[in-house]
Amino acid sequence: MIARLAPAIAAAFLFACAAFQPTPAWERPPPPPREGPVVEAAALRRAELPNGLRVIVLEDHRLPRAALGVTARRGAGLESPGQAGLASFTAELMERGAGDRDTLELAAVVDRIGASLSAGASFDETSVGVAGLSRDLDTLFEVLADVVLRPRFDAAEAGRVRAETLAALERAKDDPGDLARMAFARALYPDHRYGRRLSGEPETVARLDAAQARAFHARVLSPGNAVFYATGDVDAEDVLARVEAAFGAWQPAAVPEPGSAPAAQAPTGRRIVIVDRPELGQAQIRVGHEGIARRDERRIAASLMSRVLGAGGFSSRLMSRIRAEEGLTYSVGSSFVLRRHPGPFGVATFTRVPEVRRVVDILLEELERIRSEPPVAQELANAQSQSAGRFALSLETSEAVAGSLVDLDVHGLPEDSLDTFRGRVRAVTAEEVAQVAQDLVHPERVAIVVVGPAEAPSRWSGPRSPTQDGSASAAKKRRSRFAARRASRARACACAPPPAPPLPRRAPARPARAPPPTAPGRTRGRGW
Amino acid sequence: MSAARWLLALLANALLATPWAGAAWALDDPAARMRKTVLDNGLTLLTLEDRATPAASLQVWVKVGSGDEARYTGIAHLFEHMMFRGTKRLGPEAHERLIEARGGRVNAFTSRDVTVYFGDVTSEHLPLVIELEAERLRHLDMSAESLESEREVVLEERRFRTEDSPQGRLFEALMALAFQAHPYRHPTIGWRSDIEKVDVETCRRFFETYYAPNNLVVAVAGDFDSEEVIELVRRHFGPLEAAERIPRNPTVEPVQQGERRSTVHFGVRAPLFAAAWHAPPSGHADAEALDVASLILSSGRTSRLYRRLVYEEQQALSAVGSYWELQNAGVFYASAGVRPDADVAKVERLFFEEIDRLRDEPVTEAELDKAKRGLEVDLVNGLATAHALASRIGRDFVTFGEVRPLEQRLEAIRAVTAADVQRVARTWLVPERRSVVHLVAPPAAAADGAGE
């Protein structure tokens, strides 16, 4: 499916060179990248039903698997802050009974064939996916169509989901990283939906019911607002016929306007938020402000700048300094969360309590330095080759490619974005990166979030005083507001935390390098 | 799996006519094309060409884990970090930076039995990965300074994963309770005091003792030419000198004589429950039946634990039970996230009722079929990437001395009967050999939370 990128002869030549050269590989110029089309034209089929449902089929016959789904181009972004959690609640209820089957009957059909079913929502989309063996395609289609078109929205199930969500929100307060992420989101978007958790807040979830879910489903899931995808060991013609049979009678409806953008903030300076967790020996830290939207033309330059700053692993300035040189953390990273409207931009890390002030100072210094000393040619070249190479690895499976094509569809981006991505990465100039650093990084007006024992201020003293322009009192106010609340009151909670992590069966892994803490929010993180 | 057992499995399958018996199952097992090369110094190289992916994964499997440690716990893992701190020719972290700059992924992990280093790259960069792995094995440069810095990193990791993590504390306490003699009782990351005190000389001895070519398996999968990779590995890994002997820990865990219990206090809102039963080590004939039991208990909404604890009784947010096999022992691990408003003792009672039911009555045919199908799909999904393929051949070879053919594994899974599941539950999941841990808020904090 993914095209073989170059003739084997080229590979043989490279290996031969490697075998006879005395200089080590890392001192030789890197071999030329072997790149061809990401998506083989012959494997991809696009279509549109008369009712407006768009269809993407990507054949990949390497393994006897199939994955299919329907994604609607709206999600939690439609909710007002007071309804926070409705999209996730609706998606969860869609899994709880559809067509002729109740929750456990539906699950039995899925489990019997070793398949998986998941419905979920992000800020920008609501989706249902099923995956299993390709020989079970009949069942996979049947389940998908039932869940998308005929969810039951049973009132008793709604009660269960509400209680489970509330319990999960309470449990999320046990996760320091999650507390930090949500306090950061709230600091950036106090009055906008982005400042509330995807799965909602206790006071909003408590009000959700089956009728609201049914209404949300009717509003969001319609053929003109959705894309169907299938990938794996399937035949495109056969899939198109099945899609027509299963979804052809789906009635078109008006496509809802997207949710509103966050009001332009007029931040006056740094804000500090402390979430008090007396039992912690390590503080979680987030520093940043609003970033850019998914469709922003600067997204590739911004992602390269972020790689140099903190998203590029050990090649990044933050990882080099805070972990490799100073041993202050196990992980640090930066990221832009790309959504329809500008999501958070920020850096995330954690350190032992006595070093909080030092680490925050370094984070602020590096945010300043990416502006005053923009990436030099070598840093940019590294970020570019890293970005292009990681792109190829991230699309090793057809599920990943199909998911990316759906993502492009959701955001109305060009269909050939995957094939043009590496070229666009290489075309970014040092001047553009320097410019995005100037335009998109503002250390003078960041929100700083620390989750840790607030009662030990003498141990870490907090970050240096905020800027002088009147924000000090605001910061102080916020700080006292948060410090005064007990930990249990801090804005917390999560989209359902994972179940008690089942141990990897063979070997509980302990990686040397953690993935960077997903800085300010969850994202599909795709910049193409 | 022994040949005899394999044959038995085949026969059983033929006789039982499971639902798959008639289905055409023509899954190509790429591992059938794997080549094994043993260098003169004893290093084993496994190469598996798969030209349908643009990627390649190289993994160095070192047969040493925290289960081999003596005196300083955590040294296997701390040393794994030191492997990234530079060589005589390359500065600290240069290894990772060089591969990252080409878009590759580099990482490593340590478990109780093995330490594994890997590089995943688009295949034109495979020669670089080979040379870099050989470079640090041949010319590692450890200094007191780099150890000091890395020690702090590992202590941060320990805080992150264990000391500030309810799950981490729970699991650490559980293993320390279930094992009393075997080093498996120690956390792989090590006890804090040991991490704080280990020195460069100890690291160096550890390296010389265990990082010998005859204790390594190099597994490579993806898009490359085997002849060329074999030649490169021979050239760069060939000069390593074999060790005369690799010491192994002699300790065997004595049979547990009665239930053990422990409570951990930590400021949580949602208590946690965990239990562990002693179970057989890797390669035991009961492995597949224990896997089937795991799936019947924990996989999907129709699993027994989800239905009972999460869905019907609404006492837990999650509940799982799974078989975890190690080289010298095994554990059947159970855990549940208790709802903030629920009682951990009640969750334990419900959980153990489900374990009792597994012993007292045979599972249904529908449950059996569902679990087997789940394991089958897992095997297929494990073939999807170069990394997963290299992991499979590396892990299998290190554990079993061979790569088990897919077909053989499928047959063994298909041969499991309801009677087998009941038998292994009766053999292993007995109260006398279980350890139980509750993680709950300390009394004061609980009152504080309740008053909110």
- Contact criterion met (CB below 8 Å) for B174 and B435: yes
Q: Residue A407 carries which side chain, given as an amino acid letter? A: D
* From A163, A174, A389, residue closest to B103, measured CB to CB: A389
Q: Distance (Å, rounded) from C-alpha B37 to C-alpha B49?
A: 14
The answer to whether the Cβ–Cβ distance between B336 and A501 falls below 8 Å is no
B107 lies within 8 A of chain A by CB: yes
**B65 and B207 together in one domain:** yes
- The CATH number of residue B316's host domain is 3.30.830.10
Please say whether the beta carbons of A49 and A224 come within 8 A: no
Q: Check pLDDT > 50 for residue B263.
A: yes
Distance from CA of A72 to the nearest CA of B (A): 25
- Of A425, A413, A340, A351, the closest CA to residue A382 belongs to A425
Are both B402 and B445 inside the same structural domain? yes
How many CA atoms lie less than 13 Å away from B93 in the CB half-sphere? 21
Is the CB of A33 less than 8 angstroms away from the CB of B121? Answer: no
Say yes or no: B214 and B319 in one domain. no
The confidence score (pLDDT) of residue A34 equals 76
φ, ψ at B244 (rounded to 5°): -70, -45
- Banded pLDDT at B208 (limits 50, 70, 90): very high
Q: How many angstroms away from the CA of B256 is the closest CA of chain A? A: 22
Helix (H) or strand (E) holding A392: helix A377-394
Do B381 and B296 belong to one domain?
Answer: yes
User: How much is the mean pLDDT over chain B?
Assistant: 92
Q: Is B125 in contact with A390 (Cβ distance < 8 A)?
A: no
Return the number of other C-beta atoms located less than 10 Å from residue B71's C-beta: 9
Nearest in space to B224 (alpha carbons), one of B135, B125, B133? B125
Establish if B251 belongs to a structural domain.
no
Distances (CA, A) of A404 to A180, A369, A409, A410, A413: 29, 33, 9, 10, 11
Torsions phi, psi for B60 (to 5 deg): -100, 115
DSSP A472-521: HHHHHHHHHHHHHS-GGGSS---S-PPPSPPPPSS----BSSPPPP--SS
List CB contacts (< 8 A) between B57 and chain A. none
Q: Do B190 and B266 have their domain in common?
A: no
pLDDT less than 50: residues of chain A: 1-8, 458-512, 515-525
Residue A160 in contact with partner chain B when CB distance is under 8 A = yes
Eight-class DSSP state of A325: I
CA distance B330 to chain A (A): 10
In a domain, B17, yes or no: no
What mean pLDDT is predicted for residues B134-140?
97
Sequence spans of domains, chain A: 41-247, 271-489
> Are residues B278 and B177 located together in one domain of the fold?
no
Chain B residue numbers touching A143 (CB-CB < 8 A)? none
Chain B residues 175-214 with CB within 8 Å of chain A: 188-189
Tell me whether the CATH fold assigned to A41-247 matches the one assigned to A271-489.
yes
> Who contacts B245 (Cβ-Cβ below 8 Å, separation ≥6)?
none
| Torsional sign, CA A204, A207, A213, A219 | negative
Scanning A478-497 for CB atoms below 8 A from B yields 486-489, 496-497
* Cβ–Cβ < 8 Å for B23, B12: no
Residue B186's alpha-carbon distances to B74, B195, B203, B246, B409, in angstroms, are 8, 12, 18, 21, 32
Q: Is the distance from CB of B248 to CB of B68 less than 8 angstroms?
A: yes
Residue B272 and residue B225 share a domain:
no
The domain boundary residue, chosen from B203, B237, B271: B237
> In this structure, is the dihedral angle defined by the CA atoms of residues A261, A262, A266 and A269, taken in order, positive or negative?
negative
Which helix (DSSP H) or strand (DSSP E) does residue A301 occupy? Answer: helix A299-306
Q: Which of these three, B202, B237, B272, is where a domain ends?
A: B237
- Chain A partners of B160 at a C-beta cutoff of 8 Å? 282, 330-331, 350, 514
Closest partner residue to B449 among A488, A498, A507, by Cβ? A488
Chain A residue numbers touching B445 (CB-CB < 8 A): 279
pTM for the complete prediction? 0.88
Based on the structure, what is the number of domains in chain B? 2
Whether B21 is in a domain gets the answer no
Range of the domain at B93: 31-237
The neighbouring-strand residues paired with A272 are: A448
Under a CB-based contact definition with an 8 Å cutoff, are residues A332 and A325 in contact? no
State the nearest Cα–Cα gap between B313 and chain A, in angstroms.
Answer: 11
Query: Averaged over B430-443, what is the pLDDT?
Result: 96
Please check whether residues B196 and B296 belong to one and the same domain. no
Q: Could you identify the residue written with the tokens 């006292």?
A: A480
At B355, the pLDDT band (50, 70, 90 cuts) reads very high
A350 touches chain B (CB under 8 A): yes
Q: Report domain A41-247's class.
A: alpha beta
Residues B347, B273: contact at Cβ < 8 Å?
yes
Contacts of A282 in chain B (CB under 8 A): 156, 159-160, 163-164
Q: Are A311 and A207 in contact (CB under 8 A)?
A: no
- Answer whether B148 touches A (CB < 8 Å): yes
Express each pLDDT in B61-90 by its tens digit. Answer: 999 999 999 899 999 999 999 999 999 999
Fold of A271-489: Cytochrome Bc1 Complex; Chain A, domain 1 (3.30.830)
Q: Is residue B292 situated within a structural domain?
A: yes
Within a 10 A sphere around the Cβ of B401, how many other Cβ atoms?
A: 9
Q: Are the C-beta atoms of residues A221 and A126 closer than 8 Å to each other? A: yes
Please give, rounded to a whole number of angstroms, the shortest distance from the CA of A88 to a CA of chain B.
Answer: 17
Helix (H, G, I), strand (E, B), or coil: what is residue A129?
strand
User: Is B301 in the A-facing interface, judged by CB distances under 8 Å?
Assistant: yes
Task: State both tokens at B42.
Answer: 């004893």
A156 touches chain B (CB under 8 A): no
| Pair B194, B86 in one domain | yes
Nearest chain A residue to B167 by CA: give it.
A500
Q: At what angle do helices A377-394 and A299-306 cross, to 10 degrees?
A: 110
Please give the DSSP secondary-structure letter assigned to residue A103: H
One domain for residues B229 and B260: no
The DSSP symbol for A188 reads H
Tell me whether residue B172 is in a domain.
yes
Cβ contact, residue pair B159, A103, below 8 Å: no
Residues 6 or more apart in contact with residue B121 via CB below 8 angstroms: A389, A393, B55, B56, B99, B102, B103, B104, B105, B128, B129
Specify whether B289 is located in the same domain as B151: no
The span from the CA of B173 to the CA of B195, in Å, is 18
- Residues B268-295: pLDDT tens digits? 999 999 999 999 999 999 999 999 999 9
B155 within domain boundaries = yes
Q: Which residues of A touch B378 (CB under 8 A)?
A: 114
Q: Hey, how many other C-beta atoms are within 10 angstroms of the C-beta on B423?
A: 15
Question: What tokens were used for B38?
Answer: 């043993």
Q: Do B54 and A34 touch (CB under 8 A)?
A: yes
Cβ atoms of A233 and A60 closer than 8 Å:
yes
ipTM of the shown complex: 0.90
* Residue B296 resides in a domain: yes
Other Cβ atoms within 10 Å of B422 Cβ, number: 18
Instruction: Kindly report the backbone phi and psi dihedral angles of residue B377, in degrees, each rounded to the nearest multiple of 5, phi listed first.
Output: -65, -35
Residues of chain A positioned with their CB less than 8 A from the CB of B96:
313-314, 513
Query: Per the domain annotation, does B304 fall within a domain?
Result: yes
pLDDT at position A33 is: 80
Structure tokens at B277: 């039963």
Q: Tell me, yes or no, whether B373 and B231 share the same domain.
A: no
